[in-house]
Amino acid sequence: MKVLIVGSGGREHAIAMAVAKSPKVDKIYCAPGNAGIAAQAECVPIAAMEFDKLADFAKEQGIDLTIIGMDDPLVGGIVDVFEERGLRVFGPRKNAAILEGSKAFSKELMKKYNIPTAGYETFDDADSALAYLETAKLPIVLKADGLALGKGVLICHTLEEAKDGVKEIMQDKKFGTAGNRMVVEEFMTGREVSVLSFVDGKTIKIMSSAQDHKRALDGDQGLNTGGMGTFSPSPFYTKEVDEFCKKYIYQATVDAMAAEGRDFQGIIFFGLMLTEEGPKVLEYNARFGDPEAQVVLPRMKNDIIEVMEACVDGKLDTIDLQFEDNAAVCVVLASEGYPVSYKKGYPITGFEQFDGRDDRFCYHAGTAFNDKGEIVTNGGRVLGITATGADLKEARANEYEATEWISFENKYMRHENGKAIDEG
Ligand code: AMP
Ligand code: GLY
């Protein structure tokens, strides 16, 4: 069969590598893709938000399944456009992708269906939000309602900070129209764990857990980034946590969406916080995490196409989802200066070391070909290097060895990925 993947990051590269392993697949296209994805897929220069052009391409090429990797096209309704054209597509429709696209929607859903999450209020105008803050408990969390590249969340420790935050989000529109509404949420403390799942509208199958490293510098210092790395499984995702989430969170979310007439097909990513009162939902995403996909997918035993087709066909109950009993660590090789300012265009060497291996992977995020045909740095996050091992300790050792195989000018990475902060 022919598969089209929509997106261009490390996540889409991990999806492309998983799809390439499927014996069912003869040909992979990726729109727009990147210099690394080009090894698995024919890259097509159509942007992820050009829904009609993508659907035209899928029709012309006779694509059997299109996989949407990114949040923007999902929230914008790409799946509806493909379905209207009679094309098979993996991902939630617009009315279900709202689970990620609107924080006000997801909070209301959780409240209505008693899914554990932080207490909150929603505001449509700055004045009422400012008035509410006067009596609210600190610290407090402000969230722009819509998609904001993962940056629309402000944790405020003083009233002043919180008032400035409301102004930034709702008046200065720092996150654009995402700030037309705002959620003001109770501050929670605890470990954060990410759990990805496949969903077919009624059945949900949970993937192995993961944790990410969001801050730019070692010791969880520095600015928040799109993610400097991940590891899987999370040692904090215990059997008890799993049982609690299965009972109160996962199926409850899928059932709630179905009850609202918003059947969810695709990936639900549960951002969880393990609080003293038990696990609570921090956020939902309607797609694989980036870079969570880069540690979870290499550990999955199933044929990803079989699982995705089962989701599209509403037959996920027939799939026995299985993961290797090992661990994986991903370290992002970034450009020095990320996430603020950095130079691009440096040639990268060492890729050949990864060729043919099934225990070390080099996922491309920000790379491109220069006019000499060399692969060069083309973003803040350049590559995601993943290694597996019998356990996290071994995976981490393998990982840091593999990061040395790659060279480019201004290469920057964190050094303690795969370690829980207090693990020493
Ligand atoms: P979100 O995009 O909603 O996951 O928020 C981004 C990050 O902000 C999370 O990964 C948490 O680290 C933090 N965060 C979000 N909501 C809360 C909350 N209610 N209490 C504490 N931290 C939070
Ligand atoms: N790594 C977090 C995300 O993909 O949203």
Taking the CA of 156 as reference, the closest ligand is: 1
* Domain 327-423: top CATH class: alpha beta
* Domain 2-93: top CATH class: alpha beta
How far is it, in rounded angstroms, from Cα 157 to Cα 106? Answer: 24
Does the bond joining 291 to the residue before it have cis omega, within 30 degrees of 0?
Answer: yes
- Are the folds of 125-180 and 191-318 the same? no
Taking the CA of 289 as reference, the closest ligand is: 2
Q: Could you tell me the residue ranges of all domains in the chain?
A: 2-93, 125-180, 191-318, 327-423
Instruction: Give the model's pLDDT for residue 318.
Output: 98
Q: Which of 47-51, 220-224, 281-285, 297-301 has the lowest mean pLDDT?
A: 220-224
Mean pLDDT of 16-23: 98
Q: Which residue has the higher pLDDT, 394 or 423?
A: 394
Residue nearest to atom 2 of ligand 2 (CA): 289
Q: Is 100 in the pocket of ligand 1 (CB under 6 A)?
A: no
In order, the DSSP letters of 270-296 are EEEEEETTEEEEEEEESS--TTTHHHH
Residue nearest to atom 4 of ligand 2 (CA): 289
**CA 226 to ligand 2 center in whole angstroms:** 7
Percent over 70 (pLDDT), the chain: 99
Residue nearest to atom 18 of ligand 1 (CA): 187
Q: Is 136 in the pocket of ligand 1 (CB under 6 A)?
A: no
Instruction: Choose which CATH entry (3.40.50.300, 1.10.1670.10, 3.30.1490.20, 3.40.640.10) describes domain 125-180.
Output: 3.30.1490.20
Q: Is 34 in the pocket of ligand 2 (CB under 6 A)?
A: no
Predicted confidence (pLDDT) per residue in 241-299, tens digit: 999 999 999 999 999 999 999 999 999 999 999 999 999 999 999 999 999 999 999 99
How far is it, in rounded angstroms, from Cα 46 to Cα 54? Answer: 7
**CA 47 to ligand 2 center in whole angstroms:** 20
Is the confidence at residue 215, as pLDDT, over 70? yes
**CA 373 to ligand 2 center in whole angstroms:** 31
Q: How many other CB atoms sit within 10 Å of the CB of residue 301?
A: 10
Give bridge partners of residue 330 from the DSSP assignment.
230, 386
Instruction: Give the model's pLDDT for residue 396.
Output: 95
Does the bond joining 45 to the residue before it have cis omega, within 30 degrees of 0?
Answer: no
Instruction: Give the model's pLDDT for residue 424.
Output: 35
Instruction: Choose which CATH entry (1.10.1060.10, 3.40.1550.10, 3.30.470.20, 3.30.1330.10) describes domain 191-318.
Output: 3.30.470.20
